[in-house]
Structure 1
Amino acid sequence: MCGRMAVTMPPDAMAQLFAAAPDNVMPQLPNYNVCPTNDVPIVTGDGQGGRRLRAMRWGFIPRWYKKLNGGPLLINARAETLAEKPAFRDAARTRRGLVPATGFYEWTKAADEGRDPWYIERTDGGVLALAAVWQDWQAPEGEVLSTCAIVTTCANASMQAIHHRMPVILEPDAWALWLGEQGKGAATLMTAAPDDLLQWHRVDRAVNSNRASGSALIQPLASDAR
């Protein structure tokens, strides 16, 4: 599962890291509370052998939707069924991307029946390259909207303490294969990250609101705070 994330790296730094040409219009960053339907940065192929850094709506819209809310909000795509689901199978073959994130959030149920948020990041402090699929959706009125979903898989042993799913996280040596630059075989990349790749800490429940913002959202919660 991946239902909220933080994206703080400047677009020019993302473009350099992924060797991608940036579009002129990018999401406003930093954003410590990226929510479904927000725009996210995503690296894709540019159709000419290069890479493009662009903005897409987080929430994949199948071609047959007649309106934005014409069906379930598809923010995640399960790796196990990615190639079979009608919504995703074409994108799985030809429209794969990488979403650069600083971290993401998951929730556990608390003793008071509330939801405790946890912020999850790389142990080395680096960027998380989240596997994604994308789709250009055309509204009946003619407007074209680029949309994407994060690919998820079963959580690794350590992550299962927080949630049973996790995003597929790709290391630099896998980026070219996932983006379709090295032929076939991308399906082999859709596995859980090593147990020691991620670390996490509990954060304030303020992030439970999609209106919350600011770097304080990712700060560790003091042991006596609630």
Structure 2
Amino acid sequence: MCNLYTLRLSAAELAEHFGRVEAAASNAGEEVYPGAPGLVIREDDGRRIMQSMTWGFPLRLKTMPPTAKPKPVNNIADLAKPMWKGLAAKPQWRCLIPLTAFAEAEGPKGAKTRTWFSVVDQPVFAWAGLWRDSAEWGPVYSGVMTDCNEAIRPVHDRMPVLLHADEWDQWLHGSYDDALTFQARCFPDHLVAMERTSEPWVKRKTFRESPQLI
């Protein structure tokens, strides 16, 4: 499960990297947490748009009191599940999530640290995502997950569905079967760099909801 990632490039640098991107105002931070704003790239009528959205689809459990805040579903475990299939089958609801690195927690309970993963020789890369408009938080997005490769296996058994640059258009425009193929494939081990750190996993109190994966 991915519950933290960074994006340390400016809007201008992102527009140059992803090409033909129309930038919009953003309040996203360099570190992105579930339930917080992040940047996504989507297409609308042939235009590629960079937009700030909330990371996580709002989920209200039956056991929650009516006044409770929804929980953000920020990871997508299975595109074939009913919650996701309708969106995944329609290219207009697919997006690219730009990031410079993502983190997993490693270590004993109460003393977990951040282990960061990035793509070798890539200052920014893309994670396959879905987005929609919500009544609770406006535009929201979530990232598609898959089984980990060997580079990530020492830390976690799942990883984001990472896209090569020549796959962006196929993710944004391809068929539902194409989307399922991306979730089933394994990203090359040799392209993933790992950096273990002494940074504590929990650094601040901006987010204390339990993130969800469905």
TM-score under structure 2 length normalisation: 0.82
Checking the alignment, whether the CA contact within 8 Å between 2:56 and 2:140 is kept in structure 1 is yes
* Aligned pairs (5 A) from 1:15-94: 15-28=15-28, 31=30, 33-46=31-44, 48-61=45-58, 69-70=69-70, 72-78=71-77, 81-86=78-83, 88-94=84-90
Cα-to-partner distance string for 1:54-113 (whole Å, 9 max, x where unaligned): 11100113699988833x4201001xx212232x22221221111110001111223x85
Structure 1 residues 106 and 207: CA distance shift in structure 2, 3 A: same
Query: In 2, are the aligned partners of 1:7 and 1:103 still within 8 Å (CA)?
Result: yes
Contact 1:35 1:210 in 2 (8 A): no
- What is the aligned counterpart of 2:181 among 159, 163, 188? 188
CA distance in 1, matches of 2:12, 2:68: 30
Please identify, of 12-21 and 153-162, the stretch whose mean Cα deviation from structure 2 is larger: 12-21
Higher percent of residues as strand: 2
Contact 1:62/1:137, CA 8 A, preserved across alignment: no
**TM-score, with normalisation over the residues of structure 1?**
0.78
CA 1:138–1:205: 2 relative to 1, 3 Å: same
Shift of 1:38: 1.4
Using CA pairs under 8 Å that are at least 6 residues apart, name the structure with larger relative contact order, 1 or 2.
Answer: 2
Instruction: Please say if residues 169 and 192 of structure 1, whose CA atoms lie closer than 8 Å, have aligned partners that are also in contact.
Output: no
Q: Aligned to 1:204, what secondary structure does the other structure show?
A: strand
Q: Which whole-Å CA distance do the structure 1 matches of 2:55 and 2:204 have between them?
A: 14
| Contact kept in structure 2, 1:57 and 1:146, CA below 8 Å | yes
RMSD: 2.6
Structure 2 unmatched runs, 5+: 207-214
Paired residues of 2:113 and 2:200 also in contact (CA < 8 A) = no
Pairing 1:102–2:95 present: no
Contact map agreement 1:61 1:135 (CA 8 A) in 2: no
In 2, are the aligned partners of 1:102 and 1:121 still within 8 Å (CA)?
yes
SS at match of 1:75: strand
Match for residue 205 of structure 1 among 194, 199, 202: 199
What do residues 156-195 of structure 1 show as CA deviations (whole Å, max 9, x unaligned)?
1221001110000001111101111x55523212222101
% of aligned pairs identical? 25
